[in-house]
Amino acid sequence: SFTIDISHPTGNISPNMWGVFFEDINLGADGGIYAELIKNRSFEFADPFMGWKKLGEKIGEGTFLVLNRKDKPNNPRFLRVNTSLSSEKVGLQNEGFRGMGIKQGLRYDFSVLYKQAVPGITLRLQLVDTLGAVIGESTLRPEKTGTDWQKQQISFRAAKTEPKAKLVLWFEGKGTLDVDMISLFPEDTWKNRPGGLRKDMVQLLADMKPGFIRFPGGCIVEGRDLANRFQWKKTVGPIEDRKLIINRWNTEFKHRLTPDYYQSFGLGFFEYFQLAEDIGAEPLPILNCGMACQFNTAELVPIDELDEYVQDALDLIEFANGDTGTKWGKLRAEMGHPLPFNLKMLGVGNENWGPQYIERLEVFKKALNERYPNIKIVASSGTDPEGERFEFLNKELRRLKVDFIDEHYYRSPDWFLTHANRYDAYDRQGPKIFAGEYAAHTDRTAGTGNRNNWKAAIAEAAFLTGVERNADVVGMASYAPLFAHVDGWQWTPDLIWVDNLQAYGTPNYQVQKLYAINKGTHVISVRMDNVIPSGQDGLYASAVLDSKTNEAIIKVVNHNDYPINGSFNIQTKENLAKEVEHIVLTAGLAEENSIQHPNKVSPKIDKVTLKGKTIISDLSPYSFHIFKIKIK
Ligand code: AHR
């Protein structure tokens, strides 16, 4: 039997305890949450025609020319179409990101940058299904002439739902037309923002009520080499001036080649901050510390040449928080957000290691602390939660007195079950812990056998009782990675899976969400026969008090293949409401959610009645329970 002492809280729970980790991996951004449907819209991929196919019986030499201009170094290429050089009609087809998800009746907004000396070419747009049938069309007549680039837009509705549509552009009439930034967005973006984010994906995040959002990664912060590191300044301002780079996850794993994986930065740092604000999450940007991904080239910036990197960090704070009279605050205002985003914390480095990381971090820390003493610094202790590398970094990061140590662990379900007490004896004096990336892996990382099943999710639920119990030392926690596309992924498991039309939360998502929406404000003690329940007899438990709703919330996991008759004695002088809300999440260990069955593993809610101040409830095999007790 369990005893819960609700009168003596043992620690505070940070309001931003449970959050999300966003990275553009598995088509998370381009082809995912960023709702652009055109792949390689500005012809900047390594092969300018990647994603495009030329159409026409006889395409004359020089009909399609890729020109490279000097005056737009961030977006040098554009396409010159000269139909006079072809005797037949010519066109271009864009394949989208594993096709384009199109919905019947929905409005689609097409836009293009163009220039022309004289009018001549008309663009006929056709959305086609997999059989080539037209499911939506329109015509755009470029109106303006001259040497300046013009933007023109046209909208049309789709006649049919199609998960893998393509867009065809026919260039009709004789003449020459220069085109760039060919774009197609659905109208139903999050908050209906033109050029915005996929609503269903953002909604799944919003439903978690995340306390923070970490962005933009992950290894993409580091980049496969320093030239291809994530540079936030190249992701803000007009989208046609954001410099596209190859994604660090391009062609990473042999069983899922993705040679067409680039970062257009349509989802850039402004949009990340805006997303954080929209879903009520604290923004947590992570910046490159002068080291490329150590799983790739491990390139380093000489320590005396770090200035540019440090300046990026200082300028980012100005971009987020500076007043509109400052250079970067002004840009934020011009982009539509005069008020500050209230950035409070910043990560330096992702999974970097060795004395080289510590040396570079020290330079950043000094500059950041001097200029912005209130900004909390998050530093990473890497991928290994217990080895020599971890020992070294953990010691050094404590010596440097960083505010948060970002720990990552991708381990077996058994590891999660046996480490539920990981934080029970952690040092309470030093930095707080950010459990920044974790997931139970049922098989090798990124393998097809590595499943988002209940076996993994219940192990995480059990482990997280230990995180919640130690919320005074673990200040933030997030599962990783966040998103994966069923037709284009490098990494399994992932919290949320999508195809071009739908998105669903995995059992692991359900676990994270249950913790996040039942996070409470204070930790309270749970004992099972006088000891902390962290795996004895296959049982795990933690409890919190919510001083805002006046509730005690107990979380318990039965990791046995047989039911347990649970008895929870609440110790308090307060009166308790008789009816207790009971949420249960359970399934067979191999069960998963899917596009076809998105809610197969999802919480069920019922009521139990208090007997005196005791809850008696059957805990079914392999189940996760939440009991919510109202204090009167
Ligand atoms: O979440 C996937 C990757 O795992 C992240 O990019 C990296 O930080 C970690 O190694």
Per residue in 321-370, pLDDT (tens digit) is 999 999 999 999 999 999 999 999 999 999 999 999 999 999 999 999 99
What does pLDDT average to over the chain?
Answer: 96
What are residue 527's DSSP bridge partners?
Answer: 3
Q: Which atom of ligand 1 is nearest to the CA of 295?
A: 10
pLDDT of residue 252: 58
pLDDT tier for residue 163 given thresholds of 50, 70 and 90: very high
Instruction: Determine the 3-state secondary structure of 488 from DSSP.
Output: strand
pLDDT of residue 582: 98
Place of tokens 């950010």: 434
Residue nearest to atom 3 of ligand 1 (CA): 218
Give yes or no for residue 17 CB within 6 A of ligand 1: no
Give yes or no for residue 407 CB within 6 A of ligand 1: no
pLDDT tier for residue 319 given thresholds of 50, 70 and 90: very high
Q: What is the C-alpha to C-alpha distance for residues 350 and 616, in angstroms, rounded to an integer?
A: 45
What is the maximum span of the chain, computed from C-alpha positions, in angstroms?
90
CA distances from 203 to 175, 209, 279, 496, 503 (A): 45, 10, 9, 11, 10
Q: What is the C-alpha to C-alpha distance for residues 131 and 115, in angstroms, rounded to an integer?
A: 33
Residue type, 609: T
Torsion from C-alpha of 294, 299, 303, 307, nearest 10 degrees: -100
pLDDT of residue 86: 87
Q: Is the four-CA dihedral 268, 269, 270, 273 of positive or negative sign?
A: positive
Give yes or no for residue 217 CB within 6 A of ligand 1: yes
Position 386 pLDDT exceeds 60: yes
pLDDT tier for residue 257 given thresholds of 50, 70 and 90: low
Residue nearest to atom 6 of ligand 1 (CA): 218
Contact between 570 and 629 under an 8 Å Cβ cutoff? The reply is: yes
Instruction: Determine the 3-state secondary structure of 385 from DSSP.
Output: coil
CA of 85 to the centre of ligand 1 (A): 49
Position 441 pLDDT exceeds 70: yes
Backbone angles phi, psi at 75, to 5 degrees: -150, 65
The residue whose CB lies within 8 Å of the most ligand 1 atoms, and thus the one to mutate among 224, 248, 250, 410, is: 410
pLDDT of residue 430: 94
pLDDT of residue 627: 98
Per residue in 177-219, pLDDT (tens digit) is 999 999 999 999 999 999 999 999 999 999 999 999 999 999 9
Residue nearest to atom 5 of ligand 1 (CA): 218
Q: Which one-letter DSSP state was computed for residue 462?
A: H
pLDDT of residue 240: 97
Same-fold call for 2-12+523-630 versus 52-186: no
pLDDT of residue 253: 56
Structure tokens at 585: 């999440």
Q: What is the pTM of this model?
A: 0.97
Q: What is the C-alpha to C-alpha distance for residues 316 and 375, in angstroms, rounded to an integer?
A: 12
Instruction: Determine the 3-state secondary structure of 1 from DSSP.
Output: coil
Q: What is the spatial order of strands in the sheet that 376-382 belongs to?
A: 20-21, 212-215, 282-287, 345-348, 376-382, 404-411, 432-440, 474-477
Per-residue burial over 259-283, b if 16 or more Cβ lie within 10 Å, else e, is ebbbbbbbbbbbbbbbbbbbbebbb
pLDDT tier for residue 157 given thresholds of 50, 70 and 90: very high
pLDDT tier for residue 57 given thresholds of 50, 70 and 90: confident
Position 173 pLDDT exceeds 60: yes
Looking at CATH, the fold of the domain delimited by 52-186 is given as: Jelly Rolls (2.60.120)
pLDDT of residue 256: 62
List of long-range contacts for 196-201, beta carbons under 8 Å, 24+ apart: 196/35, 197/33, 197/34, 197/35, 197/267, 197/271, 197/275, 198/32, 198/33, 198/34, 198/35, 198/498, 198/503, 200/498, 200/502, 200/503, 201/32, 201/33, 201/483, 201/496, 201/498, 201/503
Q: By C-alpha distance, which of 5, 2, 65 is closest to 552?
A: 5
pLDDT of residue 597: 98
pLDDT tier for residue 484 given thresholds of 50, 70 and 90: very high
Q: What is the C-alpha to C-alpha distance for residues 226 and 478, in angstroms, rounded to an integer?
A: 27
Q: By C-alpha distance, which of 167, 110, 106, 168 is closest to 141?
A: 110
pLDDT of residue 607: 97
Structure tokens at 511: 């676990």
Backbone angles phi, psi at 351, to 5 degrees: -110, 70
Position 447 pLDDT exceeds 90: no
Per residue in 289-310, pLDDT (tens digit) is 999 998 888 899 999 999 999 9
Q: What is the C-alpha to C-alpha distance for residues 539 and 527, in angstroms, rounded to an integer?
A: 11
Instruction: Determine the 3-state secondary structure of 26 from DSSP.
Output: coil
pLDDT tier for residue 255 given thresholds of 50, 70 and 90: low
Contact between 346 and 380 under an 8 Å Cβ cutoff? The reply is: no
CA of 219 to the centre of ligand 1 (A): 6
CA of 370 to the centre of ligand 1 (A): 30
Position 254 pLDDT exceeds 80: no
Please state the domain extents for the chain: 2-12+523-630, 52-186
Q: What is the C-alpha to C-alpha distance for residues 133 and 109, in angstroms, rounded to an integer?
A: 20
3-state DSSP percent of the chain in helix, strand and coil, to 5 = 20, 35, 45
CA distances from 32 to 96, 108, 127, 595 (A): 11, 17, 19, 15
The residue whose CB lies within 8 Å of the most ligand 1 atoms, and thus the one to mutate among 284, 437, 492, 494, is: 437
Is the peptide bond between 283 and the residue preceding it cis, with omega within 30 degrees of 0?
no
Q: Which one-letter DSSP state was computed for residue 244?
A: P
Per residue in 88-136, pLDDT (tens digit) is 889 999 999 999 999 999 999 999 999 999 999 999 999 999 999 999 9
Task: Tell me the CATH number of domain 2-12+523-630, given options 3.40.50.2300, 2.60.40.1180, 1.20.210.10, 3.30.43.10.
Answer: 2.60.40.1180
